[in-house]
């Protein structure tokens, strides 16, 4: 067991965390789908729920691939797992750059890109968490996954530029090649700590003892009430946020016109900031209370979004502000739930355990984003979608009272 961290070990920890952050910056192309939808509708003539099908399927495949990818990460290491992810994402983007076929886009973006994101995303957080003590679990998890949320800050203007100057198909080709190179390159920096290393010992001071966390298997966690409570909460928190993220560009077009991509980019800043801020806050006041606060605020924002998105002459900064706050609260989920996973079930099987829990994110994204598209097609507005999401979030906030947050032994 290694006691105090040496400078070399510290540097490896931060380099692993930053490599994971960089990988997620590339994989965050998922959050720019609302920009692609407009070009797809214009160039391909797709209508109704077709416009969200590749995105919704991508969310679902991403989530369920996390189980297989998590097992791969646990057994074969993060480097190989992330490399597979980069190759799959690149292949999927290159494939859809060759055609306007609905079927091929569902296969390329929905299946290949979704699976690639799952392999890349599953390998970014676990090695980073292993290098740092439990007191920094929320912060490090939030920092690594912040890349995924922050991606639209550069992808939104980049996508807008490529779509205007090269068209949709060539833009997908450029993205595919770039993402494959970036993800596969950064994957080589992912490294687990040496055998016997314990980050907890470096942060433990005299009189402060950290409670031992059991290392449970996937079969064991599926038999615990906490898993299913967290699954439902993840479904609600992530699904409600993804409803808005998948359509924010369309929502903003009423008041912002061709500048709607700015709302996508600014919301991404909120998304990324929420992951880091919630992670840090949960290290201080506990995961349970942080999650309850996030769900309550998100519910209020959903109801506030109704007059904002229905106004034809509203101030541009208002919709950007609301979108940013919704992104902030949605992003909080992506640091809280991996932190819950580590706290409750340990790091030994973290990849596959979090993969099982992450299926809630995929199912929530698939079900609620598709529901949102159907409600929008039927009613012509986003009002009913916001009402449904708000009610679900209030229910979720109540469910958090049933959770038990693990605490250190001396508290």
* pLDDT tens digits along 22-74: 999 999 888 777 778 878 888 888 877 688 788 878 888 998 999 999 999 88
CATH of 7-192+214-402, one of 3.20.20.80, 1.10.15.40, 2.30.30.100, 1.20.1250.20: 1.20.1250.20
Question: Which pLDDT belongs to residue 106?
Answer: 93
| C-alpha distances in Å from residue 258, one per residue of 275, 318, 320 | 29, 17, 14
| Residues constituting the chain | 411
Other C-beta atoms closer than 10 Å to the C-beta of 357 total: 26
Q: Which of 207, 228, 196, 205 is nearest to 344 (CA)?
A: 228
Q: Which of 183, 177, 62 is nearest to 124 (CA)?
A: 183
Question: Which pLDDT belongs to residue 247?
Answer: 61
Tokens of 342: 């580590």
Which helix (H) or strand (E) element contains residue 86? Answer: helix 78-96
Question: Which pLDDT belongs to residue 249?
Answer: 56
Contact 405, 286 (CB under 8 A): yes
Question: What average pLDDT does the structure give for the chain?
Answer: 83
Q: How far is CA 119 from the centre of its chain?
A: 13
Task: Report the SS3 class of residue 140.
Answer: helix
Contact 267, 31 (CB under 8 A): no
Domain ranges (residues) in the chain: 7-192+214-402
Q: What is the pLDDT of residues 139-178, one digit of tens each?
A: 898 899 888 888 878 887 888 899 889 999 999 999 999 9
Q: Tell me how many degrees the CA angle 270-273-277 measures, rounded to the nearest 5.
A: 130
Listed in sequence order, the residues at least 6 apart from 45 whose beta carbon sits closer than 8 Å to its beta carbon are none
Contact 267, 392 (CB under 8 A): no
Spatial distance between the Cα atoms of 1 and 3, rounded to a whole number of angstroms: 6
Q: What is the pLDDT of residues 259-300, one digit of tens each?
A: 666 777 777 788 888 889 999 999 999 999 999 999 999 999
């Amino acid at each position: 067991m290694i006691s105090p961290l040496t400078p070399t070990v510290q540097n490896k920890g931060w380099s692993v965390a930053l490599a994971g952050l960089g990988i997620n910056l590339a994989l965050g192309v998922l959050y720019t789908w609302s920009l692609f939808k407009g070009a797809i509708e214009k160039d391909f003539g797709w209508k109704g729920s077709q416009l969200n099908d590749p995105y919704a399927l991508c969310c679902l495949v991403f989530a369920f691939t996390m189980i297989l990818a998590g097992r791969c990460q646990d057994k074969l290491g993060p480097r190989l797992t992330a490399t597979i992810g980069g190759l799959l994402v690149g292949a999927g983007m290159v494939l859809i750059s060759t055609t306007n076929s609905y079927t091929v886009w569902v296969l390329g973006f929905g299946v290949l890109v979704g699976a690639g994101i799952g392999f890349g995303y599953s390998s970014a957080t676990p090695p980073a968490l292993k290098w740092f003590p439990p007191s920094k679990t929320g912060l490090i998890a939030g920092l690594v996954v912040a890349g995924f949320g922050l991606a639209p800050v550069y992808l939104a203007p980049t996508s807008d530029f490529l779509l205007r100057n090269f068209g949709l198909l060539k833009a997908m080709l450029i993205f595919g090649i770039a993402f494959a190179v970036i993800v596969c390159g950064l994957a080589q920096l992912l490294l687990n700590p040496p055998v016997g290393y314990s980050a907890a010992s470096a942060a433990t001071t005299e009189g402060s003892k950290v409670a031992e966390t059991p290392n449970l298997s996937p079969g064991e966690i599926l038999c615990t009430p906490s898993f299913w409570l967290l699954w439902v909460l993840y479904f609600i928190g992530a699904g409600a946020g993804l409803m808005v993220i998948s359509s924010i560009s369309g929502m903003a077009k009423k008041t912002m016109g061709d500048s709607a991509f700015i709302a996508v980019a600014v919301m991404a800043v909120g998304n990324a900031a929420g992951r880091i801020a919630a992670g840090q806050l949960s290290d201080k006041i506990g995961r349970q209370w942080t999650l309850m606060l996030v769900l309550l605020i998100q519910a209020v924002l959903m109801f506030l979004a109704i007059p904002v998105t229905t106004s034809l002459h509203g101030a541009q900064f208002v919709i950007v502000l609301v979108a940013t706050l919704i992104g902030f609260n949605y992003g909080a989920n992506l640091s809280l739930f991996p932190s819950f996973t580590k706290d409750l079930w340990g790091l030994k099987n973290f990849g596959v355990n979090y993969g099982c829990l992450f299926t809630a994110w995929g199912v929530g994204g698939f079900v609620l984003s598709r529901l949102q598209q159907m409600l929008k097609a039927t009613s012509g507005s986003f009002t009913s979608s916001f009402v449904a999401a708000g009610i679900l979030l209030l229910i979720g906030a109540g469910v958090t009272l049933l959770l038990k947050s693990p605490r250190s032994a001396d508290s």
